[in-house]
A and B are shown apart, each in its own frame.
Chain A
């Protein structure tokens, strides 16, 4: 097989990411105002406040989404918030449940009192609207089939007026639905999203329809700095930085070669 330019590019990227991932270099990241805003908002919530955490993502974006979710969950549990997990995408269900259980274990949080995982409901718009009227009617049982009223945390919760807000962990446009349909019930929306979705949500953040947003691996790494718990965000950030610089180098090389060829042709 004859090796073409693209094969060398692929090999270069593979090697670069591999080397940076094992290098273990620590990055000293400055915290952006967006990430700081999320941190401050969670800090301001009184102890025992109930926060819905919606895992609205697929498995494919897990390397980017998981560090964001884990950092936010850690802050939530550390700050003694009571977290109610759910998923509007089927794939987010198992991931969300595992993430919540693992993070809760770090803080000795008790299932049913400090956190609950409600599971998945099909048709996200109907689910969001229905929870606005009654969370119990939408989720009569939790993910493991326990009745709603048997869970101490859930018993006093009627609808959105009993929760501090929703934290949507999303890799697509699901957070928009929380704002559009949850907004009717004055539900406060926070978001942890992939970097690719930042520009989609910028107008909502600027208009105040979204309260705060942590985005991409950089956001996760910044949040880990804030809560002083280094995790997947900082590690991934190193690989992402090297890949970004590699892409920039390729763009420059591609353009230099393009202009040289054009000059020769003229």
Chain B
């Protein structure tokens, strides 16, 4: 019974959202605004679930003694940031923004920058022209790579044109095919969910 109620609610909201999209009537606009508001509120509650899960998981691991220093550091960050924001605010020059700029941003940038080293290593060890398709892929990648750099001399005359051709033809054709596929897939899945054919989101197989 409870599943049927969920399916009916899903069907009703799916139908309403679909119908209001095609209407500029004030009532349709108002429905859209109200549902968007509730959507944000529901999402904010979903964040609470994430926060509780984070705390629960970390406290459990601390109790077990697993990666204790790292877990404690995570929990400290979780407490310190809101406290800094509540006491000194979030304007420029406040401790909150200082910690964000000088701890979180460098840490994330560092992890992301490590990719450059892995790419360099992989380019030597893995990027091989083992077959004709691999050779074509390799050539296209090298042309695009040089085109995104600073190329001088004779290279600068023809390279941007070739790179542009690769972007506008083979690359865009593949991308469009993927996008159309995603669009059709999303449409089918949405219809299946709205019509109650697809019910796995309710947490069961049937």
Contact = CB atoms under 8 A, between A and B. Distances in A.
Interface residue tally on A, bucketed by range: 35 or more
Contact of A59 (B104, B127, B128): B104
A199 B147 CA distance: 14
B40 A202 contact: no
A125 B121 CA distance: 39
Interface residues of B, number: 57
A3 interface: no
Contacts of A253: 124
Contact of A248 (B128, B142, B160): B142
Given A137-B37, A144-B90, A250-B120, A203 B43 contact: no
Best-surrounded residue of B37, B91, B101, B120 (most CB of chain A within 10 A): B120
B119 interface: yes
B183 to A, nearest CB: 10
Interface string B20-58: 010000000110110011011011100100000000000
B156 A206 contact: no
Nearest to A32: B160
B175 A216 contact: no
Contacts of B29: 133
Contact of A129 (B32, B44, B125, B127): B32
B168 interface: yes
Nearest to A6: B121
Nearest to B96: A94
A144 to B, nearest CB: 6
Nearest to A102: B92
Contacts, number: 155
Interface stretch (B63-71, B107-115, B198-206): B107-115
B90 A130 contact: no
Contacts of A255: 127-129, 138
A91 B105 CA distance: 9
A254 B105 contact: no
Nearest to B97: A94
Contacts of A237: 150
A197 B44 CA distance: 28
B68 to A, nearest CB: 26
A13 B120 contact: yes
Given A10-B121, A123-B39, A216-B148, 16 more contacts: A12-B120, A60-B109, A91-B104, A122-B40, A127-B36, A129-B32, A130-B36, A133-B33, A199-B175, A237-B150, A244-B145, A245-B149, A247-B119, A247-B145, A250-B124, A258-B128
User: Shortest 8 CB-CB distances between A and B: which pairs?
Assistant: A123-B43, A126-B39, A130-B36, A60-B112, A60-B108, A241-B149, A133-B33, A250-B124
27 contacts: A6-B125, A9-B117, A9-B124, A10-B117, A27-B150, A60-B112, A62-B105, A94-B90, A94-B96, A98-B97, A122-B40, A122-B47, A125-B39, A126-B37, A130-B33, A144-B90, A184-B21, A202-B167, A202-B168, A237-B150, A243-B120, A244-B146, A251-B142, A254-B126, A255-B128, A255-B129, A258-B130
Interface of B: 21, 29-30, 32-33, 36-37, 39-40, 42-44, 47, 89-92, 96-97, 100-101, 104-105, 108-109, 111-113, 116-117, 119-121, 123-130, 138, 142, 145-146, 148-150, 156, 160, 167-168, 171-172, 175-176, 179
Interface of A: 5-6, 9-10, 12-14, 27, 29-30, 32, 58-63, 91, 94-95, 97-98, 101-102, 121-123, 125-127, 129-130, 132-134, 137-138, 143-144, 184, 195, 198-200, 202-203, 206, 216, 218, 237-238, 240-241, 243-248, 250-251, 253-255, 258
